[in-house]
Structure 1
């Protein structure tokens, strides 16, 4: 699928892929820093990938002016997508911002922007470890 065709995908489709893409970075990070017990891994990963954490990270990326105009547009498409589900532990606004975060990650993954995806994922992981209390 070409990049122009990718722009036709819904924000929710992009978020579906982005959820998995970002979680892979988080899981690898946790194992590489020595977390190996399955229970511990799941609990730790949730700290990075919850809707609240993703919304926090999206707001921090926007504040830090880390994203290109195209990336902000993809985020907004995901954020504004009409979803028929909601998060178990987050309000609607938080859930929608998190969906935008996931859409951005999915778009980067699907368009082959693996270096950019890795850069943003690493930034997000570091930001969670530095400042996120969640």
Structure 2
């Protein structure tokens, strides 16, 4: 396998996407509140959708090392082929940045730090969702538009 620095941030994000998805699913499976896979899936979406990942980046960025912030920047600036219709370009770029950071940390053997960041991001979202859990059918928090940033 090539070294992490020989791969693009898109490759890091591809791997990071899978790593974060598995982390979220594992956390949810450990909770006895979810009786079936349908409930697990609906709950997982709250944590892995682009808007949630972008909020993690906003929350964690001040707590990241300079190197990690640079990896976020590289991931955010990575050109992507298409942006899903359910989000906007800014949100999608920040979610890609999160996935890139996780993938890079994994590829460079810093799995403990990767897990620490995933745990912090997951806990932040869990607290957010606990305080402001939207009712069924409620629209998620508005994502920033092109040229705006997360507050």
Structures share fold, TM-score greater than 0.5: yes
Structure number with greater Rg is: 2
Which consecutive unaligned segments of at least 5 residues does structure 1 have? Answer: none
User: More relative contact order in 1 or in 2 (CA 8 Å, sep 6+)?
Assistant: 1
Question: By how many angstroms is 1:88 displaced?
Answer: 2.9
The count of corresponding residues between Structure 1 and Structure 2 is 130
Q: Structure 1 residue runs of 4+, over 3 Å off?
A: none
Q: CA deviation at 1:93?
A: 0.5
CA offset at residue 36 of structure 1? 4.4
Deviation, 1:59, is 0.6
| Corresponding residue of 1:112 | 109
Tell me the equivalent position of 2:17. Answer: 19
Mapped to 2, the partners of 1:50 and 1:28 lie a distance apart of: 16
Q: 2:96 matched to 1:99?
A: yes
Matches within 5 A, 1:1-134: 5-34=3-32, 35-62=34-61, 65-132=62-129, 133=132, 134=140
| TM-score with structure 2 setting the length | 0.81
Q: Which structure shows the bigger proportion of residues in helix conformation?
A: 1
Rounded Cα–Cα distance in structure 2 between residues aligned with 1:124 and 1:26: 10
Q: State the TM-score, normalizing by the size of structure 1.
A: 0.90
